[in-house]
A = this chain, B = another copy of it.
């Protein structure tokens, strides 16, 4: 019986499957390890966009219509900051700012990002363990034709338009895996790679010293859901970046990316014809509907994955 899941997640794609898992598992059966390579300081405040996307989604307060931030937001602080001549290209709502103000205050008073995350989640009624991949600073740097950009500069300020020539995860070598990540890994009997951008969301997690080895030696099934479907990314710039880095825009490349650390790759019905290529890499391809629009879709996919894990990967 698969009853302890460690999920690895980035932002939106990760949040969708995390919500599905959250809705069908008990809180103590789920640990969600979240990418912090996208973290950045704005206006002197520590912002952790992926952690917040997961936390807000599980709390039921994420703005799914906008695709970012909180429901029923106002932007009065930001407007006033603009009056003060501050560059406000990164949209931060008034309620959202409370998260960053409280996180920053706690971190400045000596808390780790893990402790802060646990506290904020608790207050929002989010009870599974949501942990940053590390309590140390790791910053995703996009090396582009417009120069080196932080993730948020690339993603938000330049709207993914620059051409990516390479990615660097600054600080990853020195950063320690967070205690919650280690604990989740120790008690898990299955790992799920959420359908997050492999290069921008999963790669920072995998770049931490020791993580690949721990995943290689993991004693249980490791399953991934491809965020690339029918040669396109469900959301975000994954397809564009794959192409810019000379990779095929295909779930086969997702399998290549996860070689040695993944047993099962769940691909969409529309990619069924690529199963053979994936199997040849040494990862078992399993075909189902992976598109999650409604909350019901998220639950259905989560249920399917758990059943798959229970059956040792046989669908």
Q: How far is the CA of A102 from the CA of B97 in the complex (A)?
A: 13
Q: How far is the CA of A78 from the CA of B77 in the complex (A)?
A: 11
6 nearest CB pairs, A to B? A80-B98, A44-B105, A76-B94, A80-B95, A94-B94, A81-B98
Binary interface encoding of chain A residues 71-102 relative to chain B, with 1 for a CB under 8 A from any of its CBs, else 0: 00110111111011110000001111111011
Interface size class of A (residues with CB under 8 A): 20 to 34
Tell whether, in the assembled complex, residue A102 and residue B86 are in contact, meaning their CB atoms are under 8 Å apart. yes
Q: How far is the CA of A94 from the CA of B93 in the complex (A)?
A: 10
Q: How far is the CA of A43 from the CA of B102 in the complex (A)?
A: 7
Contact of A124 with B by CB under 8 A: yes
Q: Distance (Å) between the CB of A40 and the closest chain B CB?
A: 14
Q: Distance (Å) between the CB of A119 and the closest chain B CB?
A: 8
Q: How far is the CA of A309 from the CA of B80 in the complex (A)?
A: 39
Max chain B Cβ within 10 angstroms of own Cβ: one of A77, A102, A119: A77
Q: Distance (Å) between the CB of A81 and the closest chain B CB?
A: 4
16 A-B pairs in the complex with CB atoms less than 8 angstroms apart = A43-B102, A44-B105, A45-B101, A76-B76, A77-B77, A77-B94, A77-B95, A77-B98, A77-B101, A80-B98, A83-B98, A84-B98, A84-B102, A84-B119, A84-B120, A86-B102
Max chain B Cβ within 10 angstroms of own Cβ: one of A84, A93, A97, A108: A84
Identify which of residues 24-56 in chain A touch chain B, using a CB-to-CB cut-off of 8 Å. 43-45
Contact of A104 with B by CB under 8 A: yes
Contact of A273 with B by CB under 8 A: no
Tell whether, in the assembled complex, residue B101 and residue A43 are in contact, meaning their CB atoms are under 8 Å apart. yes
Hey, which chain B residues are within 8 Å of A105, CB to CB?
43-44
Knowing A74-B74, A76-B74, the reply to whether A81 touches B102 (Cβ < 8 A) is yes
Q: Distance (Å) between the CB of A223 and the closest chain B CB?
A: 34
Knowing A77-B101, A94-B77, A95-B76, the reply to whether A83 touches B124 (Cβ < 8 A) is yes
Hey, which chain B residues are within 8 Å of A79, CB to CB?
95, 98
Identify which of residues 237-274 in chain A touch chain B, using a CB-to-CB cut-off of 8 Å. none
Hey, which chain B residues are within 8 Å of A43, CB to CB?
101-102, 105
Q: Distance (Å) between the CB of A74 and the closest chain B CB?
A: 5
Of chain B, the residue at the smallest CB distance from A70 is B80
Q: How far is the CA of A85 from the CA of B105 in the complex (A)?
A: 13
Contact of A108 among B44, B99, B120 (CB under 8 A): B44
